C-alpha cells in the first residue's frame, strides 16, 4: 500500500514560506463555476440583447442562411470576449470570480500569494479557461491528475486556487492521476481522428462542388421550365408568362406545381397584370373540384371581363357540368383569344379530335416552331400524319424524334404508334414501332409505369403471340389501374375465361357510366366488342355511344369502321364521321 | 443537480394560508382545465394557412412591394404575429386584400371558426387580455394555470417563499402581497407588452411580488439548497444562498428575456409581469424593512400577523 500522506502536503508552502496554501476542494470549484454561469449569463445576455433578438428571429425564419451562420459566429465570439473580460476584471479586483467569492475560494499567484494578481496573469488565465471549452472541457480534467490540482490555465498563468475554509483538498492518488491522464490522452486521440474525418469529408464535398445550395435556393420562386421557354424580355412580363404556363400545361409539357407557382406569383404581386390568367389556370388545375373550379373561373372574369382569359374561363365553366369527353370548341373564339398560345394548343387538340387531321397537322407544325412545345407538337404531328394515312411520313417523323433525348413522352408516342399498327393488322407480323417499344422493356427489369405502354405491350403479346414479355411484369401497374387488368383478362388467352365471360368484362368497360382509366382501354374494349359480339343489344349500345360523342378521333373511327365491316343493317350512312367522307380509302 | 431543500417548510400549522392558496390554485386548475375538452382549431396554424395569413397581414401592415420576396418561413412568422395581433383579428372581415380572392374567402371562414373556438376556452374568459376586459380578470388570472408543469413550478416557489413570508409577517399579509402584486404585474404587462393576443394566465406575477418582498424584507436570511455532483463524500451537501441573490438569479434573467425576445415572435413567458410584480414586491419589502424598527409599526405588525 502506498502511503497517501507521502503525496499530499495538506498545506502547500509558498516559496516565501509566509502562509500555507490550502488546495481548494474540487466540488467547491465546480459549484463556483456553475454559480458563475448563473451570474454571468444574464449579464452577458443583457449586453448582447439586440444580437440575440435578431438571432432568434433568423433561427425561426431562415436557419440555413448565411446571415444566421454569421450571426451565430458573432454571438459565440462576443460571449467569449465578454466572459474573458468579466473574469479578468473580477480576478484583478477581488482575486476571485463571484462564484469563487461565494464559496470562499481565491486565485493566487504561486510565487506571491499575498499580492494581487497581475493583469497579464488574469487575462492569460481567463483566455485559456475560455479556450478550453472549445477542446470539449478535456483540459479541465487535469484537476484530477495534477498534484496541486492546477489545470492548464492555472499552470500557464502561474496561479493556483486555494480555499479559505479549513477542509482543504488532498492531492490526487497516483493511480487516479495516472488513470485521468490516460483517459485524457485517449479522448484527445479520438477527438483528433474525428476532426480528421470531418475535415476530409468537407474537403471531398468541396472538391465535388456540393456547396452550391445558395444557387438552388435562388431559383425556386418561379417555374424554371416557363422561364426557359420564354425570351429574356418576355420572361419579365407577368401576362405573357402565365399565358405561356397555361399553354404548356394544356400541352402537358409542365406539371401542376409549375403552373400553380406561376399563378400564385401573378396573384400575389402588386401589379394586376395576369391575374385573370392566374385564376383561369387555377380553375383548370382544380377542375376535379367543381365548386372550387367554378369560383376560380368566375373570379377570372371579375378581375378582367374583357380579356381572353375571361372568355376561355366562361367556355370552360360551361363544360364543367358535362362529361369526360367534352372538349373546347375553338371555332367560337374571338380574335384576341385566337392570338394566345393557350388557344393555339386547344385548337390543335380540337382539330385532331374532330378528325380534321390536315388542319391539325398545320397547327402542330406551327406550334413546333414555338419555344417549349417540342414534345407536344412532335407527338401531335406524328399522330395526325398517321391518321391521314401518310404512314411513311409519320414513321419518318417518329424516327426523327428518336434522335432526340429519350423520355417518357417518347415512349407514349411509341405505344400509341404500336397500338395503331396492331389495330390495323392484328397478326404475327413484325412491325417497327412495336419493336422499338419492346426494346425498352424486354431483357431488363424496368417497371412498366405508363398504362398506355402496358396496353400496347399486352395487345402486342395477344396479336403476335409473342412470349418475350411476362404478364407478371405489369403486376404493380394493375394495382394502380384496375381497368387495365380487367381488359387484360378479357383479351389474353392466359386468363382461361370463356368467351361469354370475356364479353361481359368488355361490356362493363365499354358502357360503364364512370370514367375508365386510361381512356384507351374503353376504345380498345369497344373495338373488340364491335368485332366479336353477336348480340344485337351490344351493337345498339355501341352505336348509341358513338352517337353521343362529339369528339370523333382516330380511336372512335376505328370502332366505327369495325362496325361497318360487319355490314349490320343498323349502320346508317349519315352517321359516318367526317374523316371517312373525306378519305374513303380510310383504314379498311 | 441543485434543488431547493424543502425541509422545515412542509408544516401545515405554521403556514396555513400558503397551503390554502396552493390548494385553491390546484382546485381551480382541476376544475377549469379544458386542455382536452376544447381543442382550438389547429387548421389555421398549419404551414399553408399560416403563410397565407402572413401574406395578408403584410398587406395590412405595409404597402405591397413590387414583387413578394419573402421566403415561406418568413411568411409563416408574419402569420404567427398576425394571429397575436388583436387589431388585425378584429377587423380582418372588413379589410380588402390583393391576391387570390377565392383562397382569401376560404381563409376568412377558417379564421372565424378559429376565433369562435378560442373564445370558448376558459383561459380566454378568465385570463388577462387587455384594458377593455373586465376588472375581474385582474384577479382571476392569478389563479389560472395552463399545464401541470406550469402549476407545479409556480407552486414550488410559493411553498418556499410563501411559507417564510407567512411565518414572519402573517397570512393576511401574504394574501395582500399575492393579490396586489398580481394586479401590479397585470398592469405592467398591459403597459409594457404591446400587441399580445394570447391572454396572460398564471400565478407567476404574484409570486414574483412575494419573492421580491421577502428578499427585500429579510435581506440576510438564507435559503437552503441541496446539491449533488456525485454520490461521493464532499461531492454532495447543502448550500445556503442569501435571499438577496433572488434579484440577480431570477429577476435579471426576466429582464434579459424581455429585452432579447423579438417582438415579432413574442414569448411564452410574461417577462414584463414578472418584472412588474418584482418591482412592487421589492418596494413593499424594503419599506417594511425600513419601518420595522419604529415602535408603532411593530405593534401594527403584531396585530396583522395574528390573522
**pLDDT tens-place string over residues A169-222:** 888 889 999 999 999 999 999 999 999 999 999 888 777 666 654 454 455 556
The residue of B47, B260, B269, B271 whose CB has the most chain A CBs within 10 angstroms, and thus the best one to mutate to test that interface, is: B260
Average pLDDT of every residue of chain A = 78
Contact flag A45-B253 (C-beta cutoff 8 Å): yes
Query: What does the H/E/C string look like for A128-172?
Result: HHHHHHHCCCHHHHHHHCCCCCCCHHHHHHCEEEEECCCCCCCCC
For residue B250, what is the DSSP state? I
Query: Greatest CA separation found in chain B?
Result: 76
Q: A387 to each of A245, A457, B232, B257, how far by Cα in Å?
A: 29, 21, 93, 76
Does B264 contact A at CB distance below 8 Å?
Answer: yes
The residue of A29, A37, A51, A60 whose CB has the most chain B CBs within 10 angstroms, and thus the best one to mutate to test that interface, is: A60
Count CB atoms within 10 A of the CB of residue A22: 20
The alpha carbon of residue B36 is apart from the nearest alpha carbon of chain A, in Å, by: 28
Between A160 and A492, name the one with better pLDDT.
A160
Contact flag B74-A292 (C-beta cutoff 8 Å): no
Does A190 contact B at CB distance below 8 Å?
Answer: no
Give the residue among A483, A457, A455 at the shortest CA–CA distance from A555: A455
Which residue do the cell numbers 435559503 mark? B223
Under 8 Å CB pairs connecting chains A and B tally to 90
| Structure confidence by residue, pLDDT tens digits, A422-437 | 777 777 665 555 777 7
Instruction: Please give the pLDDT value at position A125.
Output: 95
Contact flag A292-B102 (C-beta cutoff 8 Å): yes
| Structure confidence by residue, pLDDT tens digits, A374-414 | 778 877 888 778 777 777 777 777 766 665 655 666 777 77
Give the residue among B103, B102, B94 at the shortest CA–CA distance from B53: B103
Enumerate residues 6+ apart whose C-beta is below 8 A from B217. Answer: B165, B168, B169, B285, B286, B288, B289, B292
For residue B200, what is the DSSP state? B
Does B73 contact A at CB distance below 8 Å?
Answer: yes
Contact flag A299-B73 (C-beta cutoff 8 Å): no
Distance of alpha carbon A181 from alpha carbon B268, whole angstroms = 46
Enumerate residues 6+ apart whose C-beta is below 8 A from A193. Answer: none
Query: SS3 of B242, please?
Result: strand
CA A101 and chain centroid, separation: 58
Distance of alpha carbon A286 from alpha carbon A299, whole angstroms = 14
Smallest Cβ–Cβ distance between B239 and the set A31, A46, A62 belongs to A31
Smallest Cβ–Cβ distance between B74 and the set A38, A62, A267 belongs to A62
Residue of chain A nearest B256, judged by CA positions = A46
Q: A548 to each of A385, A522, A543, A544, B232, how far by Cα in Å?
A: 27, 15, 9, 6, 93
CB hemisphere CA count around A353 (13 angstroms): 15
Burial code of B219-230, b = ≥16 C-beta within 10 A, e = fewer? Answer: eeeebeeebebe
Q: Would strands A159-163 and B2-4 be described as parallel, antiparallel, or unpaired? A: unpaired
Q: B279 to each of A205, A441, B185, how far by Cα in Å?
A: 56, 80, 9
Distance of alpha carbon A554 from alpha carbon A583, whole angstroms = 13
The alpha-carbon radius of gyration of chain A (Å, integer) is: 41
Between B39 and B164, name the one with better pLDDT.
B164
Q: Would strands B236-242 and B222-228 be described as parallel, antiparallel, or unpaired? A: antiparallel
| Structure confidence by residue, pLDDT tens digits, B162-221 | 888 888 888 888 999 999 999 999 888 888 876 565 678 888 899 999 999 988 888 888
State the complex-level ipTM: 0.73
Q: Percent of chain A beyond pLDDT 70? A: 77
The pLDDT of residue A105 is above 90:
yes
The residue of B256, B268, B269, B274 whose CB has the most chain A CBs within 10 angstroms, and thus the best one to mutate to test that interface, is: B256
The pLDDT of residue A587 is above 60:
no
Contact flag B101-A54 (C-beta cutoff 8 Å): no
Query: Which residues in chain A touch residue B74, judged by CB atoms under 8 angstroms apart?
Result: 61-62
φ/ψ region of A151 (left if φ > 0, alpha if ψ in -120 to 50, else beta) reads beta
Q: Would strands B222-228 and B2-4 be described as parallel, antiparallel, or unpaired? A: antiparallel
Smallest Cβ–Cβ distance between B265 and the set A39, A60, A296 belongs to A60
Smallest Cβ–Cβ distance between A62 and the set B2, B67, B73 belongs to B73
Q: Band of the pLDDT at A585, cuts 50, 70, 90? A: very low
Contact flag B255-A292 (C-beta cutoff 8 Å): no
* Contact yes or no for A264/A223 (Cβ under 8 A): no
Distance of alpha carbon A312 from alpha carbon A276, whole angstroms = 10
pTM of the predicted structure, to 2 decimals: 0.59
Amino acid at each position: 500500500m502506498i502511503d497517501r500522506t507521502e503525496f499530499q502536503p495538506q498545506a502547500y508552502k509558498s516559496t516565501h514560506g509566509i502562509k500555507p496554501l490550502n488546495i481548494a476542494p474540487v466540488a467547491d470549484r465546480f459549484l463556483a463555476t456553475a454559480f458563475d454561469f448563473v451570474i454571468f449569463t444574464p449579464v452577458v445576455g443583457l449586453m448582447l440583447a439586440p444580437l440575440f433578438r435578431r438571432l432568434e428571429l433568423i433561427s425561426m425564419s431562415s436557419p440555413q442562411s448565411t446571415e444566421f451562420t454569421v450571426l451565430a459566429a458573432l454571438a459565440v465570439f462576443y460571449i467569449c470576449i465578454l466572459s474573458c473580460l468579466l473574469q479578468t476584471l473580477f480576478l484583478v479586483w477581488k482575486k476571485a470570480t463571484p462564484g469563487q467569492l461565494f464559496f470562499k475560494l481565491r486565485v493566487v499567484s504561486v510565487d506571491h500569494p499575498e499580492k494581487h494578481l497581475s493583469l497579464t496573469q488574469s487575462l492569460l488565465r481567463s483566455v485559456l479557461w475560455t479556450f478550453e471549452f472549445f477542446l470539449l472541457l478535456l483540459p479541465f480534467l487535469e484537476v484530477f491528475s495534477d498534484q496541486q490540482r492546477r489545470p492548464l490555465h492555472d499552470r500557464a498563468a502561474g496561479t493556483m486556487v486555494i480555499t479559505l475554509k479549513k477542509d482543504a483538498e488532498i492531492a490526487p492518488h497516483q493511480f487516479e492521476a495516472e488513470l485521468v491522464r490516460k483517459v485524457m490522452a485517449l479522448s484527445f486521440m479520438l477527438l483528433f481522428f474525428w476532426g480528421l474525418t470531418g475535415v476530409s469529408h468537407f474537403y471531398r464535398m468541396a472538391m465535388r462542388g456540393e456547396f452550391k445550395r445558395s444557387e438552388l435556393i435562388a431559383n425556386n420562386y418561379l417555374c424554371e421550365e416557363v422561364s426557359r421557354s420564354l425570351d429574356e424580355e418576355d420572361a419579365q412580363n407577368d401576362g405573357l408568362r402565365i399565358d405561356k404556363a397555361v399553354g404548356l400545361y394544356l400541352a402537358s409539357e409542365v406539371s401542376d406545381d409549375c403552373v400553380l407557382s406561376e399563378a400564385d406569383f401573378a396573384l400575389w404581386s402588386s401589379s394586376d397584370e395576369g391575374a385573370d390568367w392566374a385564376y383561369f389556370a387555377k380553375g383548370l388545375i382544380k377542375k376535379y373540384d367543381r365548386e372550387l373550379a367554378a369560383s376560380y373561373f368566375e373570379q377570372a372574369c371579375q378581375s378582367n371581363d374583357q380579356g381572353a382569359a375571361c372568355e376561355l374561363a366562361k367556355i370552360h365553366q360551361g363544360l364543367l357540368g358535362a362529361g369526360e369527353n367534352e372538349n373546347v370548341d375553338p371555332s367560337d373564339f374571338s380574335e384576341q383569344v385566337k392570338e394566345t398560345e393557350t388557344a393555339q394548343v386547344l385548337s390543335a387538340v380540337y382539330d385532331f379530335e374532330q378528325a380534321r387531321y390536315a388542319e391539325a397537322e398545320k397547327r402542330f407544325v406551327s406550334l413546333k416552331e414555338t419555344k417549349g412545345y417540342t414534345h407536344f407538337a412532335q407527338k401531335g404531328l406524328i399522330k395526325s400524319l398517321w391518321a391521314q394515312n401518310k404512314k411513311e411520313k409519320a414513321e419518318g417523323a417518329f424516327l426523327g424524334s428518336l434522335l432526340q433525348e429519350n423520355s417518357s413522352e417518347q415512349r407514349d408516342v411509341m405505344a400509341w404508334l404500336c397500338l395503331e399498327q396492331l389495330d390495323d393488322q392484328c397478326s404475327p407480323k413484325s412491325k417497327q414501332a412495336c419493336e422499338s417499344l419492346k426494346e425498352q422493356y424486354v431483357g431488363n427489369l424496368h417497371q412498366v409505369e405508363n398504362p398506355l405502354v402496358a396496353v400496347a405491350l399486352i395487345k402486342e403479346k395477344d396479336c403476335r403471340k409473342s412470349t418475350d414479355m411476362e404478364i407478371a411484369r405489369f403486376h404493380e401497374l394493375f394495382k394502380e389501374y384496375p381497368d387495365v387488368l380487367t381488359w387484360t383478362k378479357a383479351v389474353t388467352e392466359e386468363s382461361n375465361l370463356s368467351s361469354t365471360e370475356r364479353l361481359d368484362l368488355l361490356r362493363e368497360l365499354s358502357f360503364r357510366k364512370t370514367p375508365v382509366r386510361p381512356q384507351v382501354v374503353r376504345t380498345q374494349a369497344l373495338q373488340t366488342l364491335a368485332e366479336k359480339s353477336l348480340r344485337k343489344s351490344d351493337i345498339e349500345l355501341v352505336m348509341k355511344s358513338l352517337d353521343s360523342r362529339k369528339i370523333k378521333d382516330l380511336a372512335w373511327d376505328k370502332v366505327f369502321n369495325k362496325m361497318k365491316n360487319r355490314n349490320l343493317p343498323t349502320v346508317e350512312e349519315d352517321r359516318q364521321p367526317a374523316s371517312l367522307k373525306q378519305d374513303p380509302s380510310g383504314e379498311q | 443537480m441543485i434543488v431547493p431543500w424543502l425541509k422545515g417548510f412542509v408544516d401545515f400549522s405554521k403556514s396555513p394560508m400558503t397551503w390554502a392558496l396552493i390548494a385553491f390554485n390546484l382546485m381551480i386548475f382541476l376544475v377549469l382545465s379544458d386542455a382536452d375538452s376544447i381543442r382550438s382549431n389547429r387548421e389555421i396554424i398549419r404551414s399553408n394557412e399560416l403563410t397565407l395569413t402572413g401574406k395578408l397581414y403584410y398587406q395590412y401592415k405595409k404597402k405591397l412591394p413590387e414583387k413578394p420576396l419573402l421566403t415561406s418561413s418568413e411568411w409563416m412568422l408574419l402569420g404567427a404575429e398576425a394571429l397575436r395581433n388583436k387589431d388585425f383579428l378584429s377587423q380582418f372581415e372588413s379589410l380588402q386584400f390583393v391576391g387570390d380572392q377565392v383562397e382569401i374567402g376560404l381563409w376568412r371562414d377558417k379564421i372565424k371558426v378559429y376565433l369562435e373556438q378560442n373564445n370558448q376556452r376558459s383561459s380566454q374568459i378568465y385570463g388577462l387580455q387587455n384594458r377593455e376586459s373586465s376588472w375581474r380578470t385582474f384577479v382571476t388570472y392569478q389563479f389560472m394555470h395552463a399545464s401541470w408543469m406550469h402549476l407545479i413550478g409556480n407552486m414550488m416557489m410559493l411553498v418556499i417563499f410563501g411559507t417564510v413570508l407567512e411565518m414572519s409577517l402573517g397570512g393576511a399579509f401574504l394574501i395582500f402581497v399575492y393579490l396586489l402584486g398580481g394586479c401590479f404585474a397585470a398592469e405592467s404587462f398591459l403597459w409594457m407588452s404591446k400587441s399580445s393576443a394570447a391572454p396572460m394566465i398564471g400565478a407567476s406575477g404574484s409570486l414574483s411580488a412575494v419573492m421580491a418582498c421577502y428578499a427585500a424584507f429579510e435581506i440576510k436570511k438564507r435559503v437552503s439548497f441541496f446539491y449533488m455532483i456525485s454520490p461521493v463524500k464532499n461531492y454532495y451537501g447543502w448550500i445556503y444562498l442569501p435571499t438577496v441573490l433572488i434579484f440577480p438569479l431570477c429577476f435579471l434573467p426576466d429582464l434579459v428575456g424581455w429585452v432579447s425576445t423579438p417582438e415579432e415572435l413574442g414569448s411564452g413567458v410574461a417577462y414584463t409581469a414578472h418584472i412588474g410584480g418584482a418591482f412592487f414586491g421589492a418596494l413593499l419589502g424594503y419599506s417594511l424593512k425600513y419601518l420595522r424598527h419604529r415602535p408603532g409599526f411593530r405593534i401594527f405588525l403584531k396585530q396583522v400577523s395574528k390573522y
